[in-house]
Amino acid sequence: MPGRVRGAQSHNWAQSIFLIYYILKCGMRILSTKRHEIDGKYAYDSSTIVFDFARLVKEGWLHLDELKGLKPEMLSKISALARM
């Protein structure tokens, strides 16, 4: 009998290790996906700054009054894109 208990404990331990591995692997995939999403969203590129600001205004992370130092043409483009 003692051998059976030890075998059962060993089996449960192996299942637990596999479950932990599986959960961590799934978590890593989710984090990797989120990291790429955030990297793409906040990567600085001067050619896309108007679009980036417009997206941030539309998502509520930024307000147009916080961009008052920009040229009026740029502000109007950001405002128009944020309304789309």
Q: Are 79 and 53 in contact (CB under 8 A)?
A: no
Report how far residue 58's alpha carbon sits from residue 4's, in angstroms, rounded to the nearest whole number.
Answer: 62
pLDDT in tens, the chain (84 residues): 455 555 556 668 888 888 888 888 888 888 888 888 877 777 777 788 899 899 999 999 999 999 989 999 999 999 999 999
Taking the complete model, does pTM exceed 0.95, yes or no? Answer: no
Cβ-Cβ contacts under 8 Å for 52 (sequence gap 6 or more)? 41, 42, 45
